[in-house]
Structure 1
Amino acid sequence: MSLSVIIPSFNTEKWIELAIRSVVNEGVEDYEIIVVDDASTDSTAAVVEDLSKQNNKIILIKLPVNTPGGAGIPSNIGLQKTTKDFVAFLDSDDWVQRGYFSKQMSVLKQLDADFSISSYVSIDAQTHEKIPAYDFDVWPADKGREQSIDPRKALALSPEPWRKVYKSEFLRKEGLKFPEADHFNEDYPFHWSVCTHAKSAVLVPQTGYFHRVNRDGQTTVESGNRYTSFLPHSLGILEELKKKNDKKAISYFQSWLVRHSRIIEAQLSEKEKREIFSAFHEICERANFRYISLEAFRNNNVNRLYLFLSIHAGDYSEYTKALFLTRRKSRRAIKRRLLKKLGPVGIARFILSRICRRSL
């Protein structure tokens, strides 16, 4: 089995050697590391060039000018250059532990899946705090072993490309690539395309990927406009799923959307929160209200149901209350709010529908 690792880089001279060496020492014998440097203004490219002289499996592609948006264009350039059986991505300030890619490749081959998705640990560059993946709560109940899943279920998981390994043939056959535009969050539409085009996927519950956050100079989302840059893509994927009448995929997608709204709101101003809420409301209005609500009940997730109901109704005041209560993890208070909002008949109807779904 062979592996291509694509590393888009920009001004990460302090960390890129660790990223590259972690792949070299990972244990895969047949590999290539493709670093696409997006016109760094520091010595990032020089560091990579020195390493490539020591190891001809390290390939440096230097772009003459910085490309617009995030890492979409460099990632696509890297994809065009891959020659191996499997493809993975690595942020240039992150690293992997030994065996991380090998394990996923082995499981992919064993279960004949199009892509794998793993857990990860975020490392705060300022405090050195280890932060677990925020979506581990929505993984299937048996979290301790590898398992095949409906790829649409991955729509409910965070979309980072670096937590996955892909079959090269699958990406080529489906013509999948990152959007190229002057915006960030290009991970989102790529992730959604992968999930909706794949025939099979596998969960690998290892945490061998370490993602650096909160570092100086990190290219990240800094404003509400950048947070909303993925919204046109999300409307597009929602319309595509509706044309297919794929209710399950819509429910997984909405599940991610609701959880994402809870995560990003703490980083926004009041004005930006209202802008984001309006955008999410537009998306949720197009959702299958009954099906999404039932999915939340089926998974016993009253937090997500409460958030979805408030977004769907366009009730910003109720939404802020939902965020406050879900942060406090006050399930009893949330259930009281739901009872008040839906009434006992509505609650009974949802519970009955949940029972009926389990009997199908």
Structure 2
Amino acid sequence: MTISFIITTYNILPYIGHCLDSVAAVARAGDEVILVDDGSNDGTVEHVQAFAAQNPFAEGVTFKPIYLGTNTMGGVGIGANIGLNAASCDTVFFVDGDDWVDIQGFNKARAHWTLHPSDILFTNYLEFDQSKQATKKPADFQKWSGLDRKTPLDTLRAQALTFIAVPWRKFYRRDFLEAHKLRFPEGDFFFEDNPFHWAVCMKAETIGFLNTIICYHRINRPGQTMASTGIELTAFFTHFDTILNNLPDADDRNLLSAARWLLSNMSWHVGRLSRQAYYSYGTAASKALQSIPDALWQNDLAATEAMKSIWPIANRLRSGDINGQIDAWQRQAIDNRLGSMNSHLQRLQTNQGRLQRQVLGQIAADSFESIQRRRRVAMPLPPDPSE
């Protein structure tokens, strides 16, 4: 099977070279590499052009750069859709321009995909922490150990929906995407891979899973969406509405999965919200949570979520007590600042005590050396044996 690699870029000059090198290493004759740049102004475009001029791809690989010239609204949705519209191969594989492909793992996954075709194939990945220069496992890594591949489609779909929504860990059959007109939602928001993930999983008739590391996803770099702490996180509630609107009527099983998905993401949100985002986030959360039926909330959700830290927050917002939750967030923020200040003071006191001990030790050493010098001066010289 041939592959359309879709690379999306925006102001990632320090990383794009590594990405392109890795894709060039796995692209084969008949493949195409579609790079969509979303208006970079940091030299990314010039680097891509210089890379292409070197003709680094294997014979028979087509390189299709698309330079939008201006930054589009939202995240990568528009760029990814442009790439999808330009794709012509059997398979679609997305690559973030600041990530890179694991060559051995990707080739193994490609061989599996060729022998076991499906609408989508889930694979595994590792995160690379840019600030710490270290790799780590993603949050859903442990799900692989409990995965049941020999189960009915509905259960496979339910398992797939619990995985992190990122598109670049999947192989997509392009005819499947085109038959269902599956595209990323476009708008003035980020995290658009979440509703795309749900739409793909809900439409798929065959789903494959292969626990092989095929790429490294870069995190904690300057300018990254995952560093969001403000009102952009309210996009999750817009995406929740999109997910619900695309569910079949009376589909309580997937409605329950969607509600759990939302609560899981809220757990990640609330610890990083800025004060300026409290009201906008609380208002959007309240509206979204109220769309979950009472019976589902009070019974099914309460049975699995009630012991989690997000549950009292979600209950308060769902009841409409937005101001009460904002007050709670503000008190928590004050407590956190006080705790941070106390920790800082304790470190200062510890350092001060250590410094005092060092100074006293030095004084004692100096005093001892002074005494020794005085003793040497006061001690009479031994008699000269020659006399």
Please classify the TM superposition score into its range, dividing by the shorter chain length: 0.7 to 0.9
Indicate if the aligned counterparts of 1:70 and 1:184 stay in contact, CA closer than 8 A. Answer: yes
Instruction: Report the 3-state secondary structure (helix = DSSP H, G, I; strand = E; otherwise coil) of the residue aligned with 2:271.
Output: helix
> 1:74 is matched by which residue type in structure 2?
G
Q: 2:314 aligns with which of 295, 311, 316?
A: 311
What is the distance in 2 between the residues matched to 1:310 and 1:222?
Answer: 20
What is the distance in 2 between the residues matched to 1:112 and 1:125?
Answer: 35
Which shifted more, 89-98 or 252-261?
A: 252-261
Q: 2:268 aligns with which of 259, 263, 268?
A: 263
Q: Which has the larger radius of gyration?
A: 2
What is the distance in 2 between the residues matched to 1:139 and 1:309?
Answer: 30
Indicate if the aligned counterparts of 1:20 and 1:33 stay in contact, CA closer than 8 A. Answer: no
Residue 151 of structure 1 and its aligned partner are, at CA, apart by 2.5
Which shifted more, 170-179 or 195-204?
A: 195-204
Residue 96 of structure 1 and its aligned partner are, at CA, apart by 1.3
What is the distance in 2 between the residues matched to 1:47 and 1:252?
Answer: 43
Q: Is 1:250 aligned to 2:255, yes or no? A: yes
- The alignment's C-alpha RMSD in Å is 3.2
Indicate if the aligned counterparts of 1:87 and 1:165 stay in contact, CA closer than 8 A. Answer: yes
What is the distance in 1 between the residues matched to 2:315 and 2:76?
Answer: 32
Indicate if the aligned counterparts of 1:152 and 1:196 stay in contact, CA closer than 8 A. Answer: no
Q: Is 1:89 aligned to 2:94, yes or no? A: yes
Q: 2:126 aligns with which of 121, 126, 133?
A: 121
Indicate if the aligned counterparts of 1:28 and 1:102 stay in contact, CA closer than 8 A. Answer: no
Q: 1:2-50 CA distances to partner (integer Å, 9 max, x unpaired)?
A: 1111011111122111111112213655421111111211221122222
Question: Does the C-alpha gap of structure 1 residues 318 and 38 become closer, same or farther in structure 2, counting only changes over 3 Å?
Answer: closer
- TM-score, with normalisation over the residues of structure 1? 0.76
Q: Is 1:282 aligned to 2:304, yes or no? A: no
Instruction: Report the 3-state secondary structure (helix = DSSP H, G, I; strand = E; otherwise coil) of the residue aligned with 1:51.
Output: helix
Instruction: Report the 3-state secondary structure (helix = DSSP H, G, I; strand = E; otherwise coil) of the residue aligned with 2:48.
Output: helix
What is the distance in 1 between the residues matched to 2:281 and 2:210?
Answer: 32
Q: 1:141 aligns with which of 137, 146, 169?
A: 146
> 1:185 is matched by which residue type in structure 2?
F
Question: Does the C-alpha gap of structure 1 residues 31 and 146 become closer, same or farther in structure 2, counting only changes over 3 Å?
Answer: farther
Residue 271 of structure 1 and its aligned partner are, at CA, apart by 5.5
1:227 — aligned with what?
233
- TM-score, with normalisation over the residues of structure 2? 0.71
Which shifted more, 90-99 or 113-122?
A: 113-122
Instruction: Report the 3-state secondary structure (helix = DSSP H, G, I; strand = E; otherwise coil) of the residue aligned with 1:181.
Output: coil
What is the distance in 1 between the residues matched to 2:163 and 2:271?
Answer: 20
1:180 — aligned with what?
186
Indicate if the aligned counterparts of 2:190 and 2:225 stay in contact, CA closer than 8 A. Answer: no
Unmatched runs of 5 consecutive residues or more in structure 2: 333-387
What is the distance in 2 between the residues matched to 1:164 and 1:93?
Answer: 17
Q: 1:180-228 CA distances to partner (integer Å, 9 max, x unpaired)?
A: 2222222122112112222222222222321111113435553432111
Indicate if the aligned counterparts of 2:106 and 2:215 stay in contact, CA closer than 8 A. Answer: no
Q: 1:233-280 CA distances to partner (integer Å, 9 max, x unpaired)?
A: 311321332x42222212222222111111122211256356435533
